[in-house]
């Protein structure tokens, strides 16, 4: 007890501390979002990231140390993704009836997501390595980082851009769709899942199950489409 920081040194070396921090940060962020009526600006993912990141910076804790304790949450991403199939089965008839519009929207959205960001960045003279890192920003992190790495980009930069894109999409999707007077939850969900992957899909499920279902479909399809389109489009651009 002669060292007032000895308890922290002990706790910081315990993996369960970081798992507990992650869970507490998420529960608190989600409770705040509920209290605010799920307002788009009160995004629990963004709040939880800010809280956990702030603690890591304040305590000087390396990310690897944090991940060793919180990796169980990472493991749960797999079962959570598979569980998306449940609402998909519930609304299978609706999904089948929208196959053609989904294919058209997928092609238009996937191409636009890549071409728009690469064209704007190239106009400002951004190096090709960064262009490659920017291109897959609208797909889930695992796929986006693999695309970037295979093409000589920076996977770490891609991961940051993917998270930023997801959070931005989750924040603006509701007011944007309302402003455009788009009331079809299938269309709203597909749009946010296509543009903002998992974070946008989580937001869609918080609003409506149909929106979440179509967002999940878009997220999966866009991962496949972007992995095929990025090498072709970057070669052409």
DSSP, residue by residue, 162-194: HHHHHHHHHHHHHHHHHHTT---HHHHHHHHHH
Section 61-68 average pLDDT:
84
Q: What is the pTM of this model?
A: 0.82
Section 16-23 average pLDDT:
86
- Dihedral pair phi/psi, residue 43, rounded to 5°: -90, 120
Q: Which residue has 């931005």 as its token pair?
A: 168
Cβ count within 10 A of residue 232: 11
At residue 13, the pLDDT reads 60
Residue 74 has pLDDT above 80, yes or no: no
In b/e form, how buried is each residue of 62-72, taking b as 16+ CB within 10 angstroms? eeebbeebbee
Q: Band of the pLDDT at 237, cuts 50, 70, 90?
A: low
At residue 3, the pLDDT reads 55
Angle at CA of residue 18, ends 12 and 23, nearest 5°? 150
Q: Locate 55 and state its tokens.
A: 């603690």
Least confident range from 7-16, 139-148, 167-176: namely 7-16
What is the overall mean pLDDT for the chain? 87
At residue 54, the pLDDT reads 94
At residue 216, the pLDDT reads 92
Structure confidence by residue, pLDDT tens digits, 24-62? 999 999 999 999 988 888 889 889 999 999 999 998 888
CA 206 to chain centre: 15
At residue 215, the pLDDT reads 94
At residue 11, the pLDDT reads 56
At residue 4, the pLDDT reads 53
At residue 177, the pLDDT reads 92
| Residues 6+ away with beta carbon under 8 Å from 214 | 95, 98, 102, 185, 186, 187, 189, 190, 193, 204
At residue 79, the pLDDT reads 82
């Amino acid at each position: 007890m002669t060292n007032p920081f000895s308890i922290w040194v002990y706790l910081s070396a315990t993996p369960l501390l970081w798992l507990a921090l992650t869970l507490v940060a998420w529960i608190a962020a989600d409770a705040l979002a509920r209290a605010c009526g799920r307002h788009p600006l009160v995004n629990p993912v963004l709040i939880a990231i800010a809280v956990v990141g702030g603690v890591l910076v304040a305590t000087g804790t390396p990310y690897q140390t944090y991940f060793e304790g919180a990796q169980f949450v990472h493991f749960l991403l797999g079962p959570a993704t598979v569980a998306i199939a449940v609402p998909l089965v519930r609304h299978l008839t609706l999904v089948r009836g929208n196959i053609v519009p989904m294919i058209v929207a997928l092609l238009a959205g996937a191409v636009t997501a890549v071409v728009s960001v690469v064209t704007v960045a190239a106009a400002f003279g951004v190096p090709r390595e960064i262009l490659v890192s920017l291109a897959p920003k609208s797909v889930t992190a695992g796929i986006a980082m693999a695309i970037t790495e295979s093409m000589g980009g920076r996977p770490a930069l891609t991961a940051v851009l993917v998270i930023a894109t997801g959070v931005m999409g989750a924040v603006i999707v509701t007011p944007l769709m309302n402003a455009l007077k788009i009331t079809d939850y299938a269309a709203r969900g597909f749009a946010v899942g296509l543009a903002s992957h998992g974070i946008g899909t989580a937001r869609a499920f918080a609003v409506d199950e149909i929106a979440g279902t179509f967002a999940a479909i878009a997220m999966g399809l866009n991962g496949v489409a972007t992995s095929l389109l990025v090498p072709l489009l970057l070669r052409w651009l």
